[in-house]
Structure 1
């Protein structure tokens, strides 16, 4: 969907200082040497015992400060997550309400997997435009994968799990970047790709079952691929990527050649190139893979982390266009296009 007068006025991130290298992971036996050679990843950000909501709070405070906004300016808080945030049954956004924004702000958690920030963008943009007087929305994503039921080094095919948090402040008045378009579609026939044959009940976490998208993906390919359904599903995912990108570019009034940079998920070199950059007929030098490979796949934070990195290093300037693109379980395909309108005041 195309949006008018919707801007990003602040970005905040929290990336742990501890980066565990792939070389160390291989030496410790955590990460297969053949995967290290194949995927060309460099490391993963590891938060230790820092809870995801605490990282989210750091990122949110930074985003609000950079946006020049007070917590009282907010009309909406959306908290995206992909992994457990704290005690089961407890909403993590309430932590930010207590320690930052207060209880009068409409708030909720978004469980849309790695595409949670895109869903948040679409919901927040619609909310801000729904009535006069609405000013700003705070969008946050955070995850810490260092838990007993998750192996960050074998989380999924072609990526390792990194811990981080990211936040955006979306406003109706001027910001440093304008949100041109956001789109999401679901490839429902590929739903089993991230479920495998794991039973729906009792939920795995309640019986201590480890989570591995690698195992589920392999199971899907082994058990479903021979029927031809899996091949068709994978084709539909790629086709959905094409359609989402075409729609985004059309609504934004630009072509792929106009894109200054592309922020995909922090996956392996071959996945970023084959699934994303080749689709756009753009070189890897316009991707954010060089940065993403150093911190790992950080759930719903990847694309915002890359945006913050590009701004901080002077790789995005006024007039530049950024495409953010991702996929998530379900299978969802999402993307957004922003254009830089001004140099952020904190740069």
Structure 2
């Protein structure tokens, strides 16, 4: 989707204190052999802070930075990958009650780790759909410190971190422009995140643990062993390249124009592959050095990286950030953000 008429007027985050990988190894939580393999440094751990509270804190910062009043918002999209609170309770209602108010459409997206990309596409379409609509608030939050999941071992080549992130998508110029956003699917790989687990009853209702790393491993071994099953792995690789090419093309730029790359916060090897083999740019341009210090924070990784890079002056006016992510399904997403100006909040120390 070409989104030249859509802007980012504010971003915000909530990042709790981190636990080092060295501490996790000493405590027996994280395999020592994976330290050198993936080169992750630490993970953000929120303790008992609920995800909706993290989302609210990030949202307040994003809205304040946007210059918008909460009453000027027309849409609230809440993205999550893990449980948010009492079963059957909508977490977006918490942010709506304490910040946005009742005059907007609000809903939750359970799109997985690239849910913010889907939220960007839906929000852009919603804002365009009727005259007078001004801005949308997109939030994401997860806390993996719960039973039935082991943050240190549940993901392949990653550790699950806790965080909240928020972004205000605006029809009026902001500090950045959303130049493009797109998503493609490879539905033949939908088993990757469930493998042989039955569809009913849902595992969480029976107290089954969640282990995406094990599911992923079994899926890939099956693909290699069973006939030409490697075809789906080839399709995934090809679709990944298509998404990146499409995001760049719709933004009107080439790979050489990309200043920084923000992917999911996984191993250094994966970040290097995307930068050097897919884009042909130095791996040093990725946001991996930041991501390795907080873990894979669900759907928040790319928004956290955007905020971090702007605050660190690693993205300046005229620069382009390529954001990239995967989600169950399998869905693959890409987006390009152009920095238009250095926002005030990036120049003032101690700002919200």
With the shorter chain as reference, the TM-score category is over 0.9
Query: Deviation digits for residues 114-140 of structure 1, max 9, x if unmatched?
Result: 010000000000111111100000000
Superposition pairs for residues 223-262 of structure 1, below 5 Å? 223-262=222-261
Q: Structure 2: 5+ residue runs without aligned partners? A: 347-352
Distance in 1, Cα, partners of 2:75 & 2:106: 6
SS class of match (2:199): coil
Residue of structure 2 in register with 1:124 after alignment: 123
For the 8 Å contact 2:166–2:303, the answer to whether it is kept is yes
Superposition pairs for residues 91-106 of structure 1, below 5 Å? 91-106=90-105
SS class of match (1:315): coil
Residues 88, 309 of structure 1: alpha-carbon distance in 2 compared, 3 angstrom cutoff: same
Superposition pairs for residues 285-324 of structure 1, below 5 Å? 285-324=284-323
Distance in 2, Cα, partners of 1:272 & 1:316: 18
Q: Structure 1: 5+ residue runs without aligned partners? A: none
For the 8 Å contact 2:275–2:283, the answer to whether it is kept is no
Residue of structure 2 in register with 1:159 after alignment: 158
Q: How many residues end up aligned between the 2 structures? A: 346
SS class of match (2:344): coil
SS class of match (1:4): coil
Residue of structure 2 in register with 1:178 after alignment: 177
Query: Deviation digits for residues 235-293 of structure 1, max 9, x if unmatched?
Result: 11111111011111111111101000000000000111124542111111100000000
For the 8 Å contact 2:7–2:170, the answer to whether it is kept is yes
Distance in 2, Cα, partners of 1:276 & 1:251: 19
TM-score of the superposed pair, with normalisation by structure 2: 0.97
Residue of structure 1 in register with 2:13 after alignment: 13
SS class of match (1:196): coil
Residue of structure 1 in register with 2:84 after alignment: 85
Residue of structure 2 in register with 1:282 after alignment: 281
Q: CA deviation at 1:103?
A: 1.5
For the 8 Å contact 1:191–1:331, the answer to whether it is kept is yes
Runs of 4+ aligned residues of structure 1 deviating over 2 Å after TM superposition are 221-225
Distance in 1, Cα, partners of 2:232 & 2:20: 34
Distance in 2, Cα, partners of 1:143 & 1:179: 24
Query: Deviation digits for residues 282-314 of structure 1, max 9, x if unmatched?
Result: 111100000000000000000000000001101
Distance in 2, Cα, partners of 1:278 & 1:302: 21
For the 8 Å contact 2:223–2:232, the answer to whether it is kept is no
For the 8 Å contact 1:190–1:230, the answer to whether it is kept is no
Distance in 2, Cα, partners of 1:329 & 1:57: 26
SS class of match (1:184): strand
For the 8 Å contact 1:83–1:143, the answer to whether it is kept is yes
Residues 4, 52 of structure 1: alpha-carbon distance in 2 compared, 3 angstrom cutoff: same
Residue of structure 2 in register with 1:27 after alignment: 26
RMSD: 1.0
